[in-house]
Amino acid sequence: MKRFCLSLVVVTLLAGIGMGLELQAQTQNQASAPARSRSDEMLDRWNDIGNKLIAMAKDFPEDKYDFKLQKDQRSFAQNLLHAAALDFVLIRRISGTSVGPDFGEGDNPTRDQFKTRADVVKFVEEAVADGAKVIQQQGDAGLDKTSKFFGNRLAHNSTMWTFAIEHSGEHYGQLVVYYRANNLVPPASRR
């Protein structure tokens, strides 16, 4: 009898805990009713601008890769390399890994390291794919964690992803002008 009573108490407690956990999960599900998450939105933004840069990298004639409008600015290829390199710098800080190829210090790889269009395309594709992977792996919780940003100050990962996306957007805009300077229409505008 004693054994039965003790068993009953334990089973009741287990059932209670189970129900409590289930209720908590239900409440969380109800509170997070939207099908999409913050990390889904971030991933969309990341892929949107990343794929635009990849499309340009693949499309722009290789013999014009060193084109620039003014002498004091980056060439077409250098813009792409810079945007992707900055992505890698931030992805590495956020993920705590050393993903991507070695491109030296800073975020301005030289053409010596990426001589051909195929080399540049691969570099940009890897940056976009690696960033997407980290955003997916870390999910919403990862966005609220902090990592070392510029000047070694801590910033939330959401801020760092956003910075990288906006930085790519700015360079994309510059490359749009490079396209037209060469009598070419940017891929995204060919509709």
Q: Which residues bind other proteins (CB under 8 A)?
A: 3, 6-7, 10-11, 13-14, 17-18, 20-21, 24, 31, 34, 36-38, 41, 44-45, 48-49, 69-70, 72-73, 141, 143-146, 154, 156, 158-159, 162, 165-166, 169-178, 180-184
Nearer to other proteins by Cβ, of 30 and 102: the residue is 30
Q: Compute the Cα dihedral for 125, 129, 132, 138 and give only its sign.
A: negative
Nearer to other proteins by Cβ, of 2 and 102: the residue is 2
Nearer to other proteins by Cβ, of 106 and 115: the residue is 106
Minimum CB separation from other proteins for residue 39, in Å?
11
Nearer to other proteins by Cβ, of 74 and 117: the residue is 74
Minimum CB separation from other proteins for residue 94, in Å?
13
Q: Name the token pair of 101.
A: 């190829």
